[in-house]
Structure 1
Amino acid sequence: MYPLDPGVHFTSGLSDISVNMGNRGELECKLSSENCEGIWYKDGEEIEASDDIEMKHDGAFHRLILKNCKEEDSGKYRFEADGRKTESMLIVEDPPRVNPDDLADFSKPVIIKVGQSATFKLSFMGRDPMKIYWYNEGEELVEDKHINIEKSLTHSRLLLSKCQRKATGEIKIKIKNECGTIEGISRLIVLDRPSPALGPVEIIEASSAVLDFKWRPPKDNGGSPVINYILERQQLGRNSWMKLGQIPGEPKYRDTDVDHGRKYCYHIRAVTEQGISEMMETDDIQAGTRAYPGQPSSPKVISAFANCINLEWVPPSNTGGTNILGYHLEKRKKGSNLWGSINNVKEPIKGQGIAVKDVIEGIEYEFRVAAINISGAGEPSTPSEFVIARDPKKPPGQINDLKVTDSTYTTLSLGWTKPIEEEGVQDEAKGYFVEIRPAANPEWDRCNNNPIIITSYNILGLKSMAMYWVRVIATNDGGEGEPKGLDNYIIAMPPPVRPHFTDRKMKSFMVVRAGNSARININFVASPMPNITWLKDGMPVSKLVTISNSDNTSQLLISTSERPDTGIYTIIVKNMVGQETFSIEIRVTDDPKPPGPAELEQNVPGTVTVTWTPSPDERRDDRLHYIVSRRDSVKRMWQTVADHLFNNKFTALNIMAGREYYFRVYAKNDMGLSEPSESPTWGVTKKKGTLRFSFKSLNFESAPSFLVPLKTHSTPESYECYMSCAVRGDPTPHVTWYRNNISLNTNTNYLITNTCGVCSMLILRVGTKDTGEYKVIADNALGRAECSTKLTVNALDPVWPLK
């Protein structure tokens, strides 16, 4: 067997292309053979080579080249070789085009004077239809009485008439068709006279012989630079203006022809090639005005001694336009209103500090200083702080009794007592600095920049559960004392608190319908933050159970509960101080399934005992109980004869002969009732016949005995509890009920009946006090019998979730 030869085939076919008109277009394909010729077609007709069409065969490649594409060159092209073919589309597009020379001429700015017209024109080529837009500074122009736009197939012209200065800006034309867009940008410059010069003037010098001032140039120079400024001057009180001539384009002037004390006003006009601006008038300027310096800073006390106080200050920022010649210093005693000079005004202090020796030991002083220039002394500074002329104090000692008074996860409160004073060793503390550092950082950070005078401080911004060292430093005028710290590091947390739960009544039992959500919220207090663990029946809870914890709350959520979720859930809250636990039973249940078939039997005349097999849900729901209903053939209405039965037997009383009886047994739990279990029909018929009497001496007397004993009961709190038994004896025995050996026959809280030998007792609302042993004693002249049982009351308080 030999493989079949596939023959010549295309390894690369033609592809669709788009070409702008006048450009070169090229179609290319590749065959599997280099020695195969082919034929080119356009729209089904064979193509022949020409000046504008070139066909090339280069090995396996075949090319068709259109040198100058025209609109009629658009169409479907095909290449065939050895019975194989490939096709593609060539589309000739004609976007807007502009001659480069025309575009260069259009780009040149158009410069006109205000009120004149400006014309912009641009020729173009391209496929119709064309859309043409004109813009000035990005805003599209719309025709109005000053804007005229001409459009044709080959050009567009924009005419702007009576142009104003605000029309100056970029002029743009946008030409668009279905094939593309082209833009041309030019600029319009409208020349006008400049706007007025800008004030107010800034006075450089105003002395008795010279007025030197400057101003700001016009905001808009009208498109031409400012050449000169024309100035006029008027002396205050006169009507005439004196021309000062033209000055070069720099906006400042120095007038030396002034009289001391006179005030002058100036008119200033800007000059450009386009004209002269409107006049700007200055405020009145006085020649020879006294300019006093501003206030220096308040004197700062560098050091103080019994016979000398050293001061320093900072010069004023406003010198009054001249150099500062010196300073004048004054002092005042505390409690006095009089300031006294330390130096003569004519002999100013040359430096920015002085040692004041004219002081009396023990007296408290304050100081102020004034700067002096050629005009004289300016306003004095604000007074310094009071300082006592005395030798330097000794730094204070260490503080005492440093302790933590309160703490949280982010704050810490400290308290301490003042250090002890020792004359000549350590003086009184005037303030305190508090410093802190993290346990892992050797650098101390100061909490307060200025000393505090109270002996307590709150540190803010701590990191929760981080370890810190703290210390306090006492300070006074003599310096800082030795720091005093705590003996051990502290942890940013509240004072330790053993976990305990905060809810007063915590529910320990919860019933949930299968499919609903179960949610348990536990509130607690603990410090530091505890570890919280949830268990189900002593094992970690399933991953399907969602646990959400916060500082004081933990929540357990079962979003969709199922019967296997039933169990005892325990929360363990534990920290370094201790732990606390709490358990809650969650019962996931549903409407109960009905009990098994009901059966009837008669043990005592006039009674019927109903028995039934338990509901399948009885084993997994200890709160499930039964309800028995009865209907007879006379009344034909169902009535409940027993409720809250926790066993599977009930004895119905007052069964009358000649009637048919029907019984239904329901299972009931916290969710609702089951379907009923029907009993067979029970009937006692009266038979008619001949009554014959045969007298015989018979003795029916017997000692009491129990036919049906008491059953053990386990009942939830607040439910009903029904106990019953059957006894016989002749003569009829006397029956007495006991709880924990105390007679109940006269207790009105218990409903006791004895009908035809069926003894029953009903407790309407069971409480924990009813727990205990119950006994029935029957006695007559022939003997005595007793029967006992136990009642257990479950102290469970159910929480009913929303459905």
Structure 2
Amino acid sequence: MPSKPAPIKKSPAKKAAEKAPAPAPEPEPAPVEAPPAEAPPAEAAAPAEEAPAAAPPAAEGDGAPVAPAQDAPAAPPADETPVQEGLDSTAPAEADAPAADAPAADAPAADAPAAEDGAAAPAADTADAPADAAPAEPAVVEEPPKAPTPPPPAVPTSAPLDVSVEDVNDSSLTIKWKTPETIGDSGLDGFTIEYCKDGTTDWVVAQEELTPVNRYCIKNLTAGDLLNVRVVAVNPGGRSEPATLAAPVPIREVVDRPKIKMPRNLRVRVVRQVGEQINLVIPFLGKPKPVVSWLKDGQPLDTKRVNIRNSDKDSIMFIRTSQRDDSGVYEMSVKVESFEDKAPITIQIVELPGPPTGVKLVDSWGFNAALEWTPPKDNGNTEITGYTVQKADRKTGEWFTVLDHYHRLTATVSDLIMGNSYSFRVFAENKVGTSERCAVTKAVATIQKTGINYKPPEYPEHDFSEAPKFTTSLSDRAATVGYTTKLLCSVRGSPKPKIEWLKNQMVIGDDPKFRKLSNQGICSLEIRKPCSFDGGIYTCRAKNAQGEATVSCKLEVKQIIISEKGK
């Protein structure tokens, strides 16, 4: 006779679990009333192979024997949900939930009976565990490896730039262009060229394969056609926006292509002063008559300031009175159909510079003064070539240039006069000339006067006194009766000696027959028409405080004897 199953006792842990609030991750199903059962049902919603893991047998310490499998009573019907004795009838029925989806602590012991042997296994995972035992950790689910991030899709390039005509004749058309500004990481595969007749939209691809260069010749064209041409850049992202020629191109031979013959003197910078007249004549070639246009700094000309006169062979740009605003880069363009030639002309209008923005006296010492200044704000539209530095004495106020064509911004003025005060000013220079205004120092450089005691040297006075001395003596002479004769000698002495003449040791007085002269030490005695009695010894005597000197000579007066025959 089969034995009765033993009643299931509740362990302290199970009682504590029943008192704990039930988790509420999901809405609770309606409570189901179950008939009392002495043993747990043999069938449960959980799979049979997972039941032992979800509900291990109770521990022996609980005092509840486990019935053998062969003595297990028959299982109740499947549609009836058994309720373990002692449990609240309102607990949620979790029989339909898989054991792996919920922790063992959240499921009651009655929800996981042993299905195969029908034994009464009332205990759950936490039924016989101590009250302070920790709940089991949830199973770790490994995430599948993520797929690699796909690269961003390729983006088409920007449109090609500056599509223009390079050559055209009656059967072909050559165009050129520039590479697009934006190419992207995917690179550039090449360019495709398309054309269509003017007035239609039937675009024809000119080449079979993409061209990598920025030039292409479209051949086998029909003379007289008017074609629109466009260029498209291609890369892995697709086609770019097309770049189209500005105007349709007629397919025909050009007689004479446009060409600007720029004069040599206009190939470099054209420099004029403010107020001067500008008259530039630029010849050109081209047939039929080219279309001439002018630009200044990329913008149309101001016709109020600049006059343009064009003929079949040249273009004249005329400015009556130039101003600073007329400076810039002028571009002349001649165009024959789709062919064009351009030439730039740089015009620079210059004038006198402004003054330096400031000059100051840095220091003064001895006979020197140090200055510094800053460049002018207005350079006259040309570079500053130098500076002129001037000084002025405060006593006279007259300005004198001390440095000319000076290139630095600092200078030292030297050779100043002691005891004077000086002001300084600076002018700026450029290729036109010196600035009209200047910068003047506010401070004054005063050269201090130091006292000097000058004692002139003392020289002993020289005694120039000298006794008379004849430097040239008298010479004996012979005179002829009736012919005037003169005696000469020279004497020196200090003070000036007194001269006396003697004849035969007798002083010659104021006899009118004798004339006595003395000039610069030259003494002379003139004897007018001497006679035979005037012969004798003549003496010249010189006397002063230092002494006297004499010199003598013999004068012989001869008589002319006339023979009887001569009479």
Note whether the superposition's TM-score is higher than 0.5: no
Greater fraction of residues in helix: 2
Which has the bigger relative contact order, CA under 8 A and spacing at least 6?
2
Structure that is richer in strand per residue: 1
What TM-score do the two structures reach when normalised by structure 2?
Answer: 0.30
Per the normalisation by structure 1, the TM-score is 0.22
Largest Rg, 1 or 2: 2
